[in-house]
Amino acid sequence: MTELLGISPQALFGQLLIGLINGSFYALLSLGLAVIFGLLNIINFAHGALYMMGAFVGWYLLQYLGLGYWWALIISPVLVGLFGMVIEKTMLKRLHGLDHLYGLLLTFGLALIIQGLFRNQFGSSGQPYVIPKELAGGVNLGFMFLPLYRGWVIIASLVVCFATWYVIERTKLGSYLRAATENPALVQAFGINVPRLITLTYGFGVALAAFAGVMAAPIYQVNPTMGADLIIVVFAVVVIGGMGSIMGSIVTGFGLGVAEGLTKVFYPEASNTVIFVIMAIVLMIKPAGLFGRTA
């Protein structure tokens, strides 16, 4: 194959793949943030820490109980989700009716606690997590080599994202959720247990983060700081997409992952900052974000 603009197609598709992988995590995390924000009006600063926790729960399961990747993919989100519900029940609930900034501050504190505890235990070194043997190896697509596990991550996160979208936009449960977002008092009056709905929603959003964490474990090392920097990028993704729609957060998540991957090919120096630059441009042109409603 001929070179395009002096860039070999292998490098281009390789970075596109990495972009899609990163995009998968951006999408899963910003989706969780959007779901939580919709009902609780809280930006969950602890999202990155809970993503890291999800990865560590997976690592613990393998290390101490011998339960492999597939079990971790189910058990870890459930456990971390339950942990999230406890947080919601014991702490976030008490902030109801206060300025939303207090939710941000509280979850920031929680993130510090969780990250600090794991750093005490593991230092800042990473723990390796092997790729499950069913997904080891890869296939040659002719124009590039695709490691199976990476393909799986993209497909699995797409499936989970669209399943979430379907549940929220197309089912009865989702309609309760959307109604409670619009007017919780009225929904409560119709006999729906809104406080429980809120708890479950927070648990679900957190479980999405843990799911992303387990999926990330074999790609990046399991590391106490893995969520801290990621969450800031995800915040930028959320600002670019706007908080308005579920689909918006999925599309922006993948889109920005790809944009970041392409930047790595054409102008590597800017690859760390490209998402923030895009955010600044979007803010100048469309302050509410690409999919957001003006607040």
Partner 1 sequence: MTRSVEVLRTVFAGRVRHEGGRFPLLAFGAMVLVFLIAPLFIYPIFLMNVLCFAIFACAFNLLIGYAGLLSFGHAAFLGTAGYITGHAAKMWGLPPELAILAGTFAAALLGLVFGMLTIRRQGIYFAMITLALAQMVYFFYLQAPFTGGEDGIQAIPRGRMFGVLDLQNMMTLYFVVLAIFLAAFLLIYRIIHSPFGEVLKAIRENERRAISLGYKPDQYKLIVFVLSAALSGLAGGTKAIVFQLATLTDVHWSMSGEVVLMTLLGGLGTVFGPVIGALVIVALQNYLAPIGAWVTVVQGVIFVACVLMFRRGIVGEIVAKVKSRSSHSK
CB of 150 to partner 1, least distance (A): 25
**d(Cα 212, Cα 163) in Å, to the nearest integer?**
15
CB of 215 to partner 1, least distance (A): 24
- Closer residue to partner 1, CB minimum distance, 1 or 285: 285
- The single residue among 149, 204, 235, 254 that binds partner 1, judged by CB under 8 A, is 235
User: Which range in 1-9, 166-174, 214-222, 229-237 contacts partner 1 by CB under 8 A?
Assistant: 229-237
117 binds partner 1 (CB under 8 A): yes
Q: Does 290 bind partner 1 (CB under 8 A)?
A: no
CB of 239 to partner 1, least distance (A): 6
> Taking CB under 8 A as the rule, which mask of x and - marks residues 119-138 in contact with partner 1?
xx------------------
Determine, following the binding rule CB under 8 A, whether residue 109 of this chain makes contact with partner 1.
yes
Q: Does 95 bind partner 1 (CB under 8 A)?
A: yes
Total Cβ atoms within 10 A of residue 270: 13
Q: Mapped to the 3 state alphabet, what secondary structure does the chain carry?
A: CCCECCECHHHHHHHHHHHHHHHHHHHHHHHHHHHHHHHHCCCCCCHHHHHHHHHHHHHHHHHHHCCCHHHHHHHHHHHHHHHHHHHHHHCHHHHCCCCCHHHHHHHHHHHHHHHHHHHHHHCCCCECCCCCHHHCCEEECCCCEEEHHHHHHHHHHHHHHHHHHHHHHHCHHHHHHHHHHHCHHHHHHCCCCHHHHHHHHHHHHHHHHHHHHHHHCCCCCECCCCCHHHHHHHHHHHHHHCCCCHHHHHHHHHHHHHHHHHHHHHCHHHCCCHHHHHHHHHHHHCCCCCCCCCC
Rank residues 188 and 225 by Cβ distance to partner 1 and give the closer one.
225
52 binds partner 1 (CB under 8 A): no
How many residues bind partner 1 (CB under 8 A)? The answer is: 44
Q: Measure CA 16 to chain center.
A: 19
Q: Applying CB under 8 A, which of residues 115, 181, 252, 263 lies at the interface with partner 1?
A: 115
Identify the residue among 53, 236, 259, 265 touching partner 1 (CB under 8 A): 236
CB of 194 to partner 1, least distance (A): 21
Please, which residue, 207 or 279, has the CB nearer to partner 1?
A: 279
Contacting residues toward partner 1, per CB under 8 A: 37, 43, 91, 94-95, 98-102, 104-106, 108-117, 119-120, 228-229, 232-233, 235-236, 238-239, 269, 272-273, 276-277, 279-280, 283-284, 287, 295
